[in-house]
Amino acid sequence: MEYTVVLTEDPDEPGVYNVEVPALPGCFTFGTGREEALAMAREAIHLYVETLRSEGEPVPEDVRPEIGRVAVAL
């Protein structure tokens, strides 16, 4: 299975990345550096899906969010 993840660097802790999995509500993690954050995301996704399956719940498909940039006049 593959899921889209969103990594954002923590503004208060440079080098720490927060990770969100849009298709899996409440599935968040973090890591020091991108590689650790992605490894933590793999583990979080695995545990999330494993829990859904053990409870007989459906496993959501990946969500590919539309990402764009918007200019705002201030």
Grouping H, G, I as helix, E, B as strand and the rest as coil, residue 54 is helix
Count the neighbouring beta carbons within 10 Å of the beta carbon of residue 37. 21
pTM of the model: 0.84
Gap between the Cα atoms of 41 and 47, Å rounded = 10
Structural domain 1-74, CATH architecture: 2-Layer Sandwich (3.30)
Q: pLDDT digits over 4-60, tens only?
A: 999 999 999 999 999 999 999 999 999 999 999 999 999 999 999 999 999 999 999
* pLDDT classification of 63: cutoffs 50, 70, 90: confident
Checking if the pLDDT of 67 tops 80, the result is no
Q: Where are the domains of the chain?
A: 1-74
40 alpha-carbon distance from chain centroid:
9
Predicted pLDDT of residue 52: 97
For residue 53, what is the enclosing H or E element? helix 34-54
